[in-house]
Amino acid sequence: MKLDRAKTLGIRNKNKFRRGRGTGSGLGKTAGRGHKGARSRSGYSDRIGWEGGQMPLYRRVPKRGFNNKNFKTRYYLVNVGALNDFQDGATVDLDVLCGAGIIRRSQGCELLKVLGDGDLARKLTVKANKCSLSAKDKIEKAGGTIELSRGYQSANPEVAAAPARPSPKPGSPPPGGAPPKGEKPPKGGKPERPPKAEKPPKAEKPPKGDGPSHDAGATGPVA
């Protein structure tokens, strides 16, 4: 029987190899770490997915799943300067622009937006989903009109009508702002408390020195 087996219940423990103890062991000098570099120095640790600087696998494979880019609202963009190719009185919309070759149809895009770059010298009726303020001004100055499709508003608040504001809730401050300092808004459903009764004024105390005077030498009534 051997002592190393008796202490471990028959399970033999292999001795740890001692590195850096001379070149004759085969792992002396650099202790199996090689010359220079991150792995040869202390404190180095592998990061999961790190491949030495090259493009890692998790970035090389295609991704699947939800992405906001797939649901982005896309518009065909056309400037008013490109509408001079049409005759006066023409109606210009997305289908007419595609037929004239000014824009090309792409998948997933069915909306039109008119921008104000360039000058317009034609009287046109433009149908779009959005338009800039400068584009609207140039179309109207040329005698034309701009019609925005139902369900879409212009990018500029002066082009599209502003939505109506909801009615204020009961008990909320007026539209002009909060009530002035010192005034509280009335609370709905609670009766107002009566004002407190004023306390009567306190009786004035007589001033000191008005009482009967006493002589320091008198000890009793004078006969």
Mean of the per-residue pLDDT values of the chain: 78
Q: State pTM to two decimals.
A: 0.43
* Window from 41-45, 80-84, 111-115, 213-217 with minimum mean pLDDT: 213-217
Q: Is the pLDDT of residue 156 over 90?
A: no
Q: What string of H, E and C letters represents the secondary structure of the chain? A: CCHHHHHCCCCCCCCCCCCCCCHHHCCCCCCCCCCCCHHHCCCCCCCCCCCCCCCCHHHHCCCCCCCHHHHCCCEEEEEHHHHHHCCCCCEECHHHHHHCCCCCCCCCCCEEEEECCCCCCCCCEEEECEECHHHHHHHHHCCCEEEECCCCCCCCCCCCCCCCCCCCCCCCCCCCCCCCCCCCCCCCCCCCCCCCCCCCCCCCCCCCCCCCCCCCCCCCCCC
What is the per-residue pLDDT for 153?
Answer: 45
Domain positions in the chain are: 70-148
- pLDDT, greater one: 220 or 75: 75
pLDDT in tens, 139-152: 999 999 999 985 44
Does the domain at 70-148 match CATH 3.100.10.10? Answer given as: yes
- pLDDT, greater one: 222 or 21: 21
